[in-house]
Structure 1
Amino acid sequence: MCRDVAIWLGLNIYNVVNKQDVEDTLESYKETQKKVFENYEKRIDDSDEEREKKVQYLTRKTEFANLLYLTGERYYASDFFANLFWNTKKEYSNIDSIIKYEKKYIYCCRCYENNEKAKANMLACDLAERYWDLMCEQPYTIWAETDPMKNFLRMRLADILFYKNMTANAFNMEEAKTSVNYYEEIMAHPNEIKLWDDEIRAYFCNSQGYMLYQMSRHVSDKDKKEEYLDKALEKLDYAVSKAPYKGKYRRNLGLIYQIRDKYEEARETYIAAFKTDPLDYKAYNTVVALDLKAFDKDSGIDDRNEILLDEIVFKDEIKQKWQSIIDQDISWCKTAEKLCFSFVDTHYNMAKAYLYKYICEERTDSRLLELANEQINIAEELNSDAQGTVFIRRNIYEAEGNFVKAYECVGENLIKRNDKNAKLRNRYEERIKGCYDGE
């Protein structure tokens, strides 16, 4: 009987669920399985695509940080921002453009440091426009004021306006003010990711102070000049107090004393700069250049008219006061030369010091004149257009009595701009004419 009941139930089920219903159910099941599988594949594809995007961005982020580390040794803020970006998870959609501009910025820095002013200016002018464009559109305009990339772009525009004006024929006061103001904005909006320490503030204050010093040199109003110098002194004093081991900051502080004719204070500050940072080759040069300018003034070289260097005789008090100082200057130049042979200022300063030592010793040691020529030849190889190189080459010719060559130097465009040389041109002409008349 059980078997009959089972057969009866089976027949009734078949009557209730017909064949088409079963086939429809199976087809629906297949479709569902297909969609599930497709969604699974899509999730895998999406996951792979998202992973690839993250890898690509991490690669860009690494490249950006490495570029910052390239300039970090000289510019502390680059290291600071490199570390800052490593600690933020935010992704920046315009990082490709920023990387591209950073590469050009590094090249601009190198040209500036190598005294290739024309190249540096061309790069700075282009970069100024690029950074302006970045900062006038999204995403920059919608970032928070404390966003690290926003502060970084402020800094780079401030930096590039400095390089633009340091390499231009005409100084743009408004751009200089903009540069100073951007540094101020950065300090006013510190980022929360990393403590805004004294060292980074000192860096920006030094940058502001140096630009304010340059502004003081390009303004005619005496009150405004003093205002800029007072602000520069305040900024540089702060920078030195917060980063006392930075020779560069002391060196810039010395410039304020020098422009205010405080020779002793300037000299002490420059010496403190290279004692603080013995690898700062520029610091050695600043004190040497200061000494040689003071010697020019003290001995009357900077305002000579009738007496030329081939016949000038220094007074005994001048020799007693300056000979040991000039010897020390030559020693400092040799140190700077070892630290950075390619820095042109070292060589023309050393040439000038050897020349003055030669004259102080009443031209008894011809080797000193040979050394002066050797150093000026190196300077000309490094940068023949450097103003110091041309002036000192002229003085060496004058001391040798080679007035034809000295006159050619006076004819150079760099020399012609200096009104003091009009009287020297006349004296050279007289000496040349006298030589020919004697023959």
Structure 2
Amino acid sequence: MTLLSLAARNLLRNRRRTAIALAALVVGVGGMVVLRGLVNGQQRIILENIVLGQLGAVQVHHEGYLALVQGSPLSLDMEDSEALRQRIAGVPGVVGVSPRLAFGGMLSMPEPEGAEEREPRTTFLQVLAFDPALEPRVTPKRMEWVGEGRFLSEAGAPELMLNADLARSLGARVMGGEALPQEQWPALLAADRDGALNGESVRISGTLVSASPGDRRVGYVPLATAQRVLRMEGRVTEYAVSVEPLEDARRVRDALRASLGPGYEVHTWEDVFPFIAQLLGQQDFLFGILSTVFLLAVLLGIVNVMLMSVLERVREIGTMLAVGMRRRSIVLLFLLEGWVLGLVGGVLGALVGGAVTFWLHQQGILLPSPGANVDSIIRPFVSLSYLGRSVVMAAVGAGLAALWPAWRASRLRPVEALAST
């Protein structure tokens, strides 16, 4: 404790130099915290768009489905039974289950009245069918991307929500609740499991906007509508599962695999979109490199400060050695000076960085997304544990930066130190 108080007083002897070193630490640690907050905010946007807007945390399929998903294997379907839903929902951590049917189809628009020549108004699209009452529990952001309209019924009415860009190119408009004759409705066409083409007239009940660039040829229909078109009443191709907290997705996946047994395959969002997990990992890796370089640059300044302190206090060090202070105590004294400098600078930097991050979180940062209809708003955030780690890194790093100057101070010979000017 005596050495610690002495180290603190020594730092106050040259307040200008100490203030410069503290300012460098505050900028370094604060910059690390703000950068981590920005990375966290961007990663949260990506996860929300993927997990809460498209996939769900976990998906259950028939065995072998994911390997053939590009071919939309309707033959790898499952019975949509209440017993199976209850088995899935009974796993701890599961908070929502939504049955789905995914398939490829065509949309054929009716010929405009009074048109002299028939215009080509048929297009292919990827259709996702779900229960409008259950899907929001699994992907709550999905319905936030509805630009206009909504599903008018939860009982499986023949309705279609179409991507806004696709609807515009086809000249389709939202019909809402207006009573148009069915001959003026578009026709949704799709091949069933046997390859036979089936169709049903559907009402355009809404349009969809996109929060990320990608194919615009997508649409949503109620599950019952898709089951009629595909002749798959009571059948689904997947169950989407929501998990709280999201970090438990892998544990829930393993528990579902054990509960459902053979014949089913269970995947997390990371398994379905592995490139997203790789992207997040690469971002963390790059952040680690940048923060390390940033912190090393600051710590080099600490080395310079401590060396200057040793050079200015040669006679003082010689006096301490002459009166019997051990060399290891000299080393410890300078290490404590570096540690105190790092601790104070780390705390101040974490507070400043945390305050800036909190302000940015409240304000939000608009992030335009090329090719998307909706701009994302990044809200940076950092955890208390990261703030604590930042302080520890600054304190330990500053202590280590003082190691060489401390060793040099301890190697001075008392006679030569006292004779120096």
TM-score range, shorter chain: under 0.3
TM-score (norm: length of structure 1) = 0.24
Report the structure, 1 or 2, having the larger strand content.
Answer: 2
TM-score normalised by structure 2 residue count: 0.24
- Bigger helix fraction: 1
- Higher relative contact order structure (alpha carbons within 8 Å, sequence separation ≥ 6): 2
